Chains A and B, each alone.
Chain A
């Protein structure tokens, strides 16, 4: 097969339409398409620097993603699939350090100044869509290309692509997250303890790397400062643009709904987010908490791990996907409602429900 035909075949298959999250075959189809993508994108040219900006006035990077007269989409992209275009760099060995499909950091392909932002060969902090550490198949992920309703959502249906969460163009948000995801009416800032322009990010302390982590699922929960340094504020509100209900605790008469489980239409309660875990009192159950965790927290004041750090969505979940294994009672049964099938790892950072015990130490 010619290189060009390979490339085309790949990008045409990354966004299958009409799939529903609740259909088990979605996993198989998606996995197959992505597997094909991994093989075929090897023909794509390798660019040794970031096309995301910020751009100089005489940048040459526009053409890495746009064609002015021969584009395939209304945003003047050369391919029919935005996700396919993203993956053409962000899969293993193509053109970016962050191989998000394989969930591994590969030093040397992205911007030179950022090479030390991750440990080469280590897991990506956000996990991977297809694999973790390029070896373990994911058990739960944000399913790119699948059409469905987000858990805890307001019923809106999305067909998720990379561009739904990330803007390819520079902004001040963490990880180029869109300022208005899910049709948000106002800008949402997601602050982080960056940006860093070069390897001096290490002044943030210790062996901290902005892009990579140790394998939480393997039990390496002993370096809390490495990850807390990354997040600062705004993540919970940002995720809630699709998962609207998850920012609130529920338990009010206005939050009665049918979650598709055996309990029908009833008030629902949820775990706190944006919550200080040390020296706090739970506003719902009145319990006093002085918790400790090695999982990532939001470092609100940017002063490293201190008592003002807060739990956020990414304390428990990786944004892209994980290989967390669900066994025993952590496998959701018929009472799971609209949540995914029992073996789905829900993008949790650890196997089973180990991460609950990581804070609560029961």
Chain B
């Protein structure tokens, strides 16, 4: 695997970096469609985003490496990536679950049922576009606007982008856009991460995990567990956690959490913050540990995996971080 060290960002600002095209493309000797020089899209991404060879965000080792690109201060050096890593967390802890790449799989919660959804062979480019979509400059983390073949735009807004490395710091409290701390051992200041997300995460994730944005299905389905073809209920997403009455079970909630929330108003941590998929789950991988009950009995978990299911905290620490008084 060859590495590509770039002075500029290959994903944007091509006018200032006219040589960036060659980082990924070969006009006459390409080995893949879109004139990609490497036959594997994933490997091409990894040439920069692995081991600090060309990008600050080492997504394989789950670590921020300051020095690879101009926006060095958007993460704390050597800290965990907010999305986790595919192989390791902070270059040390082996991941216990991840979005598995290059393997045909049916996403959990996919239509038409848990086991019958469309098979997806996940690659980096399944979620991210290498080029910034000029029509959607605010799209968070270069996420595809139409992932998994959806027919309408899935806009994911965030409290950026920032034009330079100092601008993001005005968001206060040492916030960094790319890194976090270990939620297990050091649940951080809530403002650090809530600053990042704004809106649209859940609907974006639902492009694959289509059932997970609704509380209840209109019909029954077999999730592969021992309960068979029955009505299924789910935890809410995209909803406030403070001062709300649950529309399904009627309970009144006034919760607080240190986990990341969406911040729709962009005005700081407030009661309008909403929980999203990323409140509980990392995107790339996690080293959270599940034991005994948290691992779930095989008869009951259905086709859910054995393991940590990308949760940010070990066991069910993500549950108690909101529901502390139970």
| Chain A residues engaging chain B, CB cutoff 8 angstroms | 2-5, 7-8, 43, 45, 47, 51, 53, 55-64, 66-76, 78-80, 169-170
Contact = CB atoms under 8 A, between A and B. Distances in A.
Tell me the dominant secondary structure on chain B's binding face. loop
Contacts of A71: 232-234
B139 to A, nearest CB: 26
A192 B123 CA distance: 59
A169 B325 CA distance: 9
Contacts of B184: 58
A94 to B, nearest CB: 13
Most B C-beta atoms less than 10 A away, residue of A3, A47, A51, A61: A61
Interface in B231-262: 231-235, 248-249
A55 B293 contact: no
Interface in B301-316: 302, 304, 313-316
B319 A62 contact: yes
B316 A61 contact: yes
Contacts of A78: 225, 227, 300
Contacts of A76: 233-235
Contact of B316 (A4, A63, A74): A63
Contacts of A3: 226, 299
Given A60-B292, A67-B300, A69-B234, 12 more contacts: A4-B225, A7-B299, A8-B226, A8-B227, A56-B320, A62-B316, A64-B293, A70-B234, A70-B304, A72-B230, A74-B215, A169-B326
A72 B231 contact: yes
Contacts of B230: 72, 80
A51 B294 CA distance: 11
B291 interface: yes
Interface string B207-221: 000011001100000
Most B C-beta atoms less than 10 A away, residue of A8, A45, A62, A76: A62
A59 B231 contact: no
A69 B299 contact: no
B212 A59 contact: no
A58 B314 contact: yes
B177 interface: no
A61 B319 CA distance: 10
Nearest to A45: B297
A69 B316 contact: no
Given A57-B321, A73-B233, A76-B235, A4 B226 contact: yes
A74 B294 contact: no
Give the interface size bracket for B toward A.
35 or more
A69 B226 contact: no
8 contacts: A5-B226, A45-B297, A47-B293, A53-B326, A71-B232, A72-B227, A74-B215, A75-B233
Contacts of B226: 2-5, 7-8
B314 A69 contact: no
B317 A70 contact: no
Nearest to B185: A58
Given A58-B317, A69-B109, A69-B235, A170 B326 contact: yes
A4 B299 contact: yes
A170 B325 CA distance: 9
A45 B296 CA distance: 10
A74 B233 contact: yes
Contacts of B20: none
B211 to A, nearest CB: 7
Contacts of A80: 227, 230
Most B C-beta atoms less than 10 A away, residue of A58, A71, A79: A58
A106 to B, nearest CB: 20
Nearest to A170: B326
B108 A69 contact: yes
B36 interface: no
A7 B228 CA distance: 11
Given A8-B226, A76-B233, A60 B326 contact: no
B315 A69 contact: no
Contacts of B290: 60
A51 B228 CA distance: 25
Contacts of B199: none
Contact of A70 (B223, B313, B315, B316): B223
A242 B299 CA distance: 38
B324 interface: yes
